[in-house]
């Protein structure tokens, strides 16, 4: 039996900015997707995942399937089919069928934690361990990127893949280059607004603003770039107070200058700040989805309660943890 797992992710800064050639800081979240794979004696691929349709098809049917872009907006199962098809397009048919079970700790409703990326990375690693043609992890970014684009729209940077695979903290660019910032672990509380958020809608939204008013957007991007450098030094020095301050500023920029927050996100962020979190911001595309607060163990329960009292769902977890692994 093959068993793998991959993490979800958070942006400490640079979401949206990265789409315009800048950098972002991304980190792994200790909310994992687990994949197990067992060989079958026949030619069927069977995939179970709670809350999703079951896949039960012949290898050949998956290999010859054609997809259109709307197939990917529904859920991860067509992405899984597409991932398997691409694997076979590149490396030939799997030598036999298999049974796969995928379970994720990232709730379906909690958008912005790279649930689909962690799903795809854990499945890809299981396929790679099963296949006669294993793929080194350094190559995962470019292999999984087309799927990321199918899930999030053609312009997705896909940098979440880097974080799900390598874990820790990374400064990343949309060409897939990465600088590791190490693996210090910090406590966070995630707040889920429950408000639907779609990256394939928020990215064009920011672009339309940028097209109308490039100069002011470029000024905003410059400030984001500066904040990212400050955050990098805070991460390297494990300076949680300084990091929290820049996380706060980052949220304000995303909310006021890029317009990608949501009243519910702002309420959760404010509640965390009142509960004495070091800093709090939305993460990812925005306009809904998740936010997180940087905390220490002493106040994490208080911050989690503040999120719930403000109408969100809370998850106490850690960032900076190990990425993709064999279980
Ligand atoms: C979404 O998770 C992050 C964005 O920067 C889009 C992207 O990088 O593809 C908003």
Cβ neighbours of residue 232 under 8 Å, at least 6 residues apart?
25, 171, 181
* Distance between Cα 157 and ligand 1 center (Å): 6
> Most distant CA pair in the chain: distance in Å?
61
CB of 227 closer than 6 A to ligand 1?
no
Token pair for 185: 């672990």
CB of 199 closer than 6 A to ligand 1?
yes
What pLDDT is stored for residue 151 in this prediction? 77
CB of 203 closer than 6 A to ligand 1?
yes
* Distance between Cα 235 and ligand 1 center (Å): 21
CB of 285 closer than 6 A to ligand 1?
yes
Beta strands in the chain (DSSP E): 2-13, 23-39, 44-48, 55-58, 98-104, 169-173, 178-180, 186-192, 279-282, 290-295, 313-319, 325-326
Tell me the pLDDT tens digit for each residue of 61-79: 999 998 877 777 666 788 8
The model carries a pTM of: 0.94
Tell me the pLDDT tens digit for each residue of 155-181: 789 999 999 999 999 999 999 999 999
CB of 127 closer than 6 A to ligand 1?
no
Neighbours of 149 (CB within 10 A): 17
Q: Is residue 90 over pLDDT 70? A: yes
State the closest ligand 1 atom to the C-alpha of 148, by its place in the atom list counted from 1.
Answer: 9
CA-based nearest residue to 241, from 251, 231, 250: 231
* Distance between Cα 249 and ligand 1 center (Å): 19
User: Average per-residue pLDDT in the chain?
Assistant: 95
The residue to mutate among 21, 152, 201, 292, having the most atoms of ligand 1 within 8 angstroms of its beta carbon, is 152
Residue 202, SS3 per DSSP: helix
CB of 15 closer than 6 A to ligand 1?
yes
Phi-psi category of 319—alpha, beta or left, where left has phi over 0 and alpha has psi -120 to 50?
beta
Mean pLDDT of 196-215: 94
Mean pLDDT of 149-154: 76
Tell me the pLDDT tens digit for each residue of 98-112: 999 999 999 888 888
* Distance between Cα 133 and ligand 1 center (Å): 31
Token pair for 238: 């494990």
CB of 17 closer than 6 A to ligand 1?
no
What pLDDT is stored for residue 75 in this prediction? 67
CA-based nearest residue to 16, from 196, 167, 197: 197
Look at the block and give the residue holding tokens 């494990």: 238
């Amino acid at each position: 039996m093959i068993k793998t797992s991959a993490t979800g992710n958070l942006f400490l800064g640079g979401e949206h900015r990265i789409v315009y050639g800048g950098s972002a800081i991304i980190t792994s979240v200790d909310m994992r997707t687990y994949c197990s794979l067992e060989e079958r004696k026949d030619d069927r691929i069977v995939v179970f995942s709670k809350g999703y349709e079951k896949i039960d098809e012949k290898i050949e049917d998956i290999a010859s399937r054609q997809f259109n872009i709307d197939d990917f907006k529904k859920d991860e199962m067509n992405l899984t089919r597409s991932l398997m098809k691409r694997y076979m397009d590149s490396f030939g048919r799997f030598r036999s069928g298999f049974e796969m079970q995928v379970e994720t700790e990232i709730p379906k409703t909690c958008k912005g934690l790279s649930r689909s990326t962690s799903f795809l990375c854990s499945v890809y690693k299981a396929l790679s361990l099963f296949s006669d043609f294993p793929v080194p992890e350094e190559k995962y970014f470019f292999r999984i990127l087309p799927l990321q684009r199918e899930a999030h729209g053609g312009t997705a940077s896909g940098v979440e893949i880097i974080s799900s695979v390598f874990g820790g903290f990374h400064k990343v660019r949309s060409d897939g280059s990465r600088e590791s910032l190490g693996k210090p672990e910090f406590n966070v509380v995630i707040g889920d607004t429950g408000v639907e958020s779609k990256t394939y809608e928020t990215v064009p939204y920011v672009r339309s603003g940028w097209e109308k008013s490039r100069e002011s957007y470029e000024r905003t991007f410059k400030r984001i770039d500066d904040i990212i450098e400050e955050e990098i030094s805070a991460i390297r020095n494990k300076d949680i107070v300084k990091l929290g301050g820049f996380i706060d500023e980052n949220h304000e920029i995303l909310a006021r200058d890029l317009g990608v927050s949501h009243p519910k996100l702002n309420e959760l962020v404010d509640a965390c700040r009142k509960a004495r979190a070091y800093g709090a911001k939305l993460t990812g595309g925005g306009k809904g989805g998740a936010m997180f607060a940087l905390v220490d163990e002493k106040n994490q329960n208080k911050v989690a309660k503040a999120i719930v009292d403000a109408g969100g769902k809370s998850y106490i977890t850690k960032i900076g943890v190990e990425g993709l692994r064999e279980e």
